[in-house]
Amino acid sequence: MAQRYGGRFSPGASGEMSTDVPIAAPSMARRHPVGARVNLLFVLPFAFAVKAFFSDPSGLALNLGAFGALMLAAWLTREGTLAQAAYDARKVARRPAIPRKIFGSVLTGLGLGLAGLAGGVPEAVIFGVLGAGLHFGAFGADPLTDKGMEGIDAHQTDRAARAVEEAEETLAEMADAIRRAGDRQLVDRVARFADTIRPLFRAVQDDPRTLSAARRYLGVYLTGARDATVKFADFYARGRDAQARADYEALLDDLEGQFTLRRAALLEDNRTELDIEIEVLRERLEREGIRREV
């Protein structure tokens, strides 16, 4: 279905932008963790694949082996880079189960060693060590320890991760459903809604102990919003009912407010728990005869 793209300078638009509809501030541009260095790793192995078909049978086998090892190393490096980016973005995170970048370094050395084996064992060893070392120097090691896991067991972290993953899937279903309405502004409105409530997801990820307090929002309320979006999109696509649209946007506004309040309450609860812990420690120090110097 064709969609009309309107804006401040579009025909028929007023000279001033309306202030009735909230406009989300553009999010800070983030560099994608998979950059040119990682993508280049997928290109270089093809030099060995081409060379293989101009070599004798032993050279064919060695070059194809090098091609396979280097392609697998490139894939592991990309996955390891993505895993580390996700690890770095969170305050509470478990270390990756598989050290993909380290395995990528080993496979890079193996692949280059196979390619250099045609010149002899010393050349193969030199190429392998240099390749593994340069790869490790360029991409580093994977995170090898958990982060921010003190006082939080693995079961809590897994439950929080599953809840956030399901909530993200619900948001994706909302975005897919609203596209059926055939209205660009509504698509943008749902996108702003998603951006507004995601800080609650991040709060749960940062402290999985808050999942119980936020479960209703990540589950019941968000599922209700998705179901309402599906029904609204189908209804609005047929008749362009202005009142239905206003009611739907008011629903999103109300939900945004509730999600924001819940996140603020979680942060306040964390501060209260911290204050209580500090006060308990101070009282214990006083009981043990330790006084703070004034």
Q: What is the pLDDT of residues 122-176, one digit of tens each?
A: 999 999 999 999 999 999 999 888 766 665 566 777 788 888 888 899 999 999 9
- 232 and 184 Cβ atoms separated by less than 8 Å: no
Count of all residues that appear for the chain in the document? 294
Confidence of residue 120 (pLDDT cuts 50, 70, 90): confident
Q: How far apart are CA 235 and CA 245, in angstroms?
A: 10
Helix intervals (H) in the chain? 36-43, 46-52, 57-89, 100-116, 121-139, 154-178, 184-206, 211-216, 222-239, 242-287
Sign of CA dihedral 118, 120, 125, 131: negative
Closest CA relative to residue 83, chosen from 12, 119, 33, 121: 33
Instruction: With beta carbons less than 8 A apart as the criterion, state whether 3 and 183 touch.
Output: yes
Instruction: Categorize the per-residue pLDDT at 181 as very low, low, confident or very high, splitting at 50, 70 and 90.
Output: confident
pTM: 0.54
Burial grade of 87 (CB within 10 A; 0-12, 13-18, 19 or more): middle
Higher pLDDT, 42 or 150: 42
Closest to 116 measured CA to CA, from 191, 171, 65? 65
| Both tokens assigned to 283 | 């009282």
